[in-house]
Amino acid sequence: MTMQKGFKQFLIKTGVFIAFFIIFSFIVGTKIFTNNFIEVWKIGIYARIGYILLFSIAGFILLYRKRLTEMDIFKHKPRDSLMLALSVLTLVGFLCY
């Protein structure tokens, strides 16, 4: 079975998302654990978010594998890059505040 370019693009973007999620979780997670926010904010589920993400992505791929292998390549517009940059800057702003 050969993968179409759209499916490869989807897999790459999913990999990049997971990598950024892990980096973000590491940065935020260390602050949460060192400041004992889990007990203060009652967010006991935080430690299991990685498992939830992993199984959600695996389930999504299993359920939609037929459609995913037939995906076309998505062409990005300059506005998409601008919105991504704005999102990252906002995220950094919230982390530093």
From the list 68, 55, 70, the residue with the least C-alpha distance to 13 is 68
For helices 49-63 and 5-34, angle between their N-to-C axes, nearest 10 degrees:
170
How many domains does the chain divide into?
A: 1
Q: In the predicted model, is pLDDT for residue 63 greater than 90?
A: no
pLDDT of residue 97: 67
Q: What is the pLDDT of residues 8-57, one digit of tens each?
A: 888 888 888 888 888 877 887 777 777 776 666 666 666 677 778 788 88
**Domain of 17, in residue numbers:** 5-96
